[in-house]
């Protein structure tokens, strides 16, 4: 069964304090791993798609990496506006387009 586990559940950082969020997954035939950001009361906002182990993508203070078992979302020198819930999801080989989501990591960055 496809499964996604994110850790930690919650993370508090001081502004400028870099850290990483983890997404561990088991999936039969990974077609893609997706990172989303969700603010309270809003829909998820697309950040990255990773397709194969070794791939990396960057956007401003965020960098996503992928191995065969997990993905990391590195946050460099975060700002208070980076506070949000970060969701990881995988798409397997079922070819239905279905995403399996993790429980999310809620990040709070204090000024």
List contacts with another protein (CB under 8 A). 31-32, 34, 36, 41-46, 49, 51, 87, 91, 95-99, 101-104
Provide the 10 A C-beta neighbour count for residue 58: 12
In the complex, minimum distance from the CB of residue 31 to another protein, in angstroms, rounded to a whole number: 6
Q: Between residues 76 and 85, which has the closer beta carbon with respect to another protein? A: 85
SS3 category, 87: strand
Residue 82 φ/ψ, nearest 5 degrees: -85, -5
Of residues 24 and 76, the one with the C-beta less far from another protein: 24
Min dist. Cβ of residue 99 to another protein (A) = 6
> Which CB atom, from 54 or from 97, has the smaller least distance to another protein?
97
Concatenated DSSP letters of 23-73: EEEE-SS--EEEEEEE-TTS--EEEEEE-STT-EEEETTEEEEE-SSEEEE
Rounded to a whole number of angstroms, the minimum distance from the CB of residue 11 to another protein is: 15
């Amino acid at each position: 069964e496809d499964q996604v586990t994110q850790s930690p559940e919650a993370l508090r950082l001081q502004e400028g304090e870099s850290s990483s969020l983890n997404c561990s997954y088991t999936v039969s035939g990974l077609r893609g791993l997706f990172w989303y950001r969700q603010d309270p009361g809003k829909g998820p906002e697309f950040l990255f798609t990773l397709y194969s182990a070794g791939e990396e993508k960057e956007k401003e203070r965020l960098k996503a990496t992928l191995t065969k078992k997990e993905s990391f979302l590195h946050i460099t020198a975060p700002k208070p506006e980076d506070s949000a819930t970060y969701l990881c999801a995988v798409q397997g080989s079922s070819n239905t387009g279905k995403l399996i989501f993790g429980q999310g990591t809620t990040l709070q960055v204090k000024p």
